[in-house]
Amino acid sequence: MRTTTNAILISAILCCSCGGAGAAGPTAGNTATAPVAAAPAGPAQPAPTMAPPPSGLSPTIAAREARLRKLDEDAAREKSGEKAPPPKSAAERRREQQEADEKAAQERKIELQRAQLAREMSCQIKPVMTDAELANCREVWH
């Protein structure tokens, strides 16, 4: 039973990876259904990150695969090298810090103006006002 389950799992993996119908699919004529979770219990092994090339490939396909893998590795190496920005001089860092300080000061000034406007809007002068409204207006305008 264990070999049959392994054979079904292996054929399903191989057929799914190439885009064909699974071994337990309707085109295979196989009526036995084995759940995928029915793999044999044993020591857990980490899944390989890159599947080794099957031994049944022709030499030209294997060469293409190797060349594509090499191109992918080269592209990844180039990308990682481009991400490092050149170091900035002390003058550039001081200038950027000064610009950041000026921007922060301007934002604080705008926020204070917004808060003052909100306080002024909370005080509406009316012919008859309560003591709380009068105290609020005194606080806002003085």
Domain ranges of the chain: 2-41+55-82, 91-141
Q: Is the pLDDT of residue 79 over 80?
A: no
Q: How confident is the model at residue 75 (pLDDT cuts 50, 70, 90)?
A: confident
Phi and psi at 127, nearest 5°, equal -60, -35
Going by C-beta distance under 8 Å and a sequence separation of 6 or more, which residues neighbour residue 28?
A: 21, 22
Residues 125, 137 contacting (CB under 8 angstroms): yes
Q: Is the pLDDT of residue 101 over 70?
A: yes
As a whole number, mean pLDDT of residues 42-60 equals 60
Distance CA 32, CA 4 (A): 10
Q: How confident is the model at residue 6 (pLDDT cuts 50, 70, 90)?
A: low
Whether the full predicted model's pTM is greater than 0.85, yes or no, is no
Residues 32, 24 contacting (CB under 8 angstroms): yes
Task: Output the pLDDT for position 110.
Answer: 96
Highest average pLDDT, of 14-28, 57-71, 75-89, comes from: 57-71
Q: CA-CA-CA-CA torsion for 104, 108, 114, 119, nearest 10 degrees? A: 160
Give the residue carrying structure tokens 């003058």: 91
